[in-house]
Amino acid sequence: MLVDYHIHTKLCGHARGDMEEYVREAIRKGFDEIGFSDHLPLLNKVDPYLTMGWDQFPRYVEEVNRLAWKYSDTIRIRLGVEADYMPGLEDELGQMLERYDFDYVYGSVHNIGDWGFDDSREKDRWESCDVTKTYQEYFDLVKRAVRSGLFDILAHLDLVKKFGYRPEEDHSPLVDQTLDVIAETGTAVELNTSGLRKPVGEVYPDLKAVEGCIERGIPLTFGSDAHRPEEVGLHIPEYIEKLQTLGLKGIALFSKRGRRDAPLEELPRTCVTQGYNDRTVRLTLSERERIRKSAEFDRAFEEGKKIYGDNLGLVWRQNDLEVSRLGVVVTRNIRKATRRNRWKRLLREAFRQNKMRIKEGVDLVLIARSEAIPSFSEVEAEFLRLSQRAGILEGDGPVR
């Protein structure tokens, strides 16, 4: 079974396409259950670029119900909504949510104070803000949202990373504390694939946090955050598979704000690729899988072979270890520290997400060459192309 609970409509002012087109796209892609979850009108202001008006809301509900009825033989359609959490307005929001018979309510934090931090119109403020403080404030709000008890599912848990700004220091304790609160309250978390289409180039939340959810028994569900019909269900089948390798056992389904955890066995494997399914590899990068010492880099450059793509370079050599290791290098012409760090993260992530496909006992050095930073999927695709040419992918014969 394939599920996509996060679908918007053009009523919100920043999406396009008719609602029926979204449904047809979901059917075409083989989804069994979807839900519309358009933005609830804001309680503190009117912005036709962000949400529909209250006068339009009954029409939204009617149209979801009409489509659910019309397509009931083919696909299950749920009535959901995405509601902004705003501290101080909990009671008002609770009252609004009770007016309709929702199947589920997503809770989102899109604002820190008066700043719509994920709004492209307000992106400039990232350049002058204190990123560390912003992350703290964001996760504090997420915790308050979860504790409010107003929401069934927490949307895009680490949305604050959308434009790619990250604190210099490790912020995983913030995420861990947030996950503890989520686990206490029984709220579900969505794996939201829209981050792959954003500057950050990765899903919300990142797979490390997803592992944290699985460890804590937090129910998980899936959403594309589609704002146009062709985005429905995008990347969800492959991430269901990836999460299986991380230990995911079930998917949370919702009806009339009640949750049912469907076992994963109920899910037919619609896109079995690259043998992910029969492996139980944990997608983390441990210390022994990293090359850090300059002597090791030197050795790779002296003894290894090199090939270059448009954005990346790959150096590789056989090591005499049982693991393959990764070193990352950013060429000197890329000067800005934020750019260099972002590049390094992308390279490590491309390796991390595909390391089960790399042969054992290879030292790889990935080199970022281009000033412009590609999206994660571009980096990943180029990394795999180069690895294939180098003959270091599993099943490719000897390392060339």
Using CB under 5 A as the criterion, which residues of the chain lie in contact with Zn ion when the complex forms? 8, 108
AA identity, residue 226: A
Nearest-approach distance from CB 331 to Zn ion, in angstroms: 36
Nearer to Zn ion, 139 or 351 (CB): 139
| Residue 6 parent element (H or E) | strand 3-7
Distance in Å, CB of 147 to Zn ion, minimum: 19
| Residue 60: its H or E element | helix 57-70
Smallest separation (angstroms) from Zn ion to the CB of 160: 12
Cβ at position 122, least distance to Zn ion in Å: 15
Q: Residue 117 and residue 298: Cα distance in Å, rounded?
A: 42
Q: Provide, rounded to whole angstroms, the least separation between the CB of residue 215 and Zn ion.
A: 25
d(CA 68, CA 77): 5
Nearer to Zn ion among residue 47 and residue 140 (C-beta)? 47
Q: Which residue number, 83 or 207, has a Cβ lying nearer to Zn ion?
A: 83
Structure tokens at 345: 């993260």
CB of 277 to Zn ion, least distance (A): 31
Angle between helix axes 337-354 and 376-390 (nearest 10 degrees) is: 60
- Nearest residue to 112 (alpha-carbon basis) of 149, 159, 156, 150: 159
Residue 179 CB, shortest distance to Zn ion, in Å, is 19
**Residue 316, CA distances (Å) to 25, 159, 305, 344, 390 in order:** 42, 35, 6, 17, 8
The residue (of 115 and 276) whose beta carbon lies closer to Zn ion is 115
Contacts of 147 (CB under 8 A, 6+ apart): 181, 185
In terms of CB distance, is 108 or 311 closer to Zn ion?
Answer: 108
C-alpha atoms less than 13 angstroms from C-alpha of 116 in its C-beta half-sphere: 11
- Minimum CB distance to Zn ion smaller for 37 or for 311: 37
- From the CB of 301, what's the least distance to Zn ion, in Å? 45
CA distances from 101 to 61, 66, 98, 108 (A): 9, 14, 7, 19
Instruction: Give the residue ranges of DSSP H helices in 266-306.
Output: 294-303
Give yes or no for a contact between 283 and 242, defined as CB atoms under 8 angstroms apart.
Answer: yes
Place of tokens 């560390």: 132
| 264 contacts 250 by C-beta, under 8 angstroms | yes
Minimum CB–partner distance for residue 227 and Zn ion (Å): 6
User: Using CA atoms, how far apart are residues 327 and 288, in angstroms rounded to an integer?
Assistant: 11
Half-sphere CA count of 332, side-chain side, radius 13 A? 0
What is d(CA 396, CA 173) in angstroms, rounded to the nearest whole number?
40
Compare residues 13 and 391 and give the one whose CB is closer to Zn ion: 13
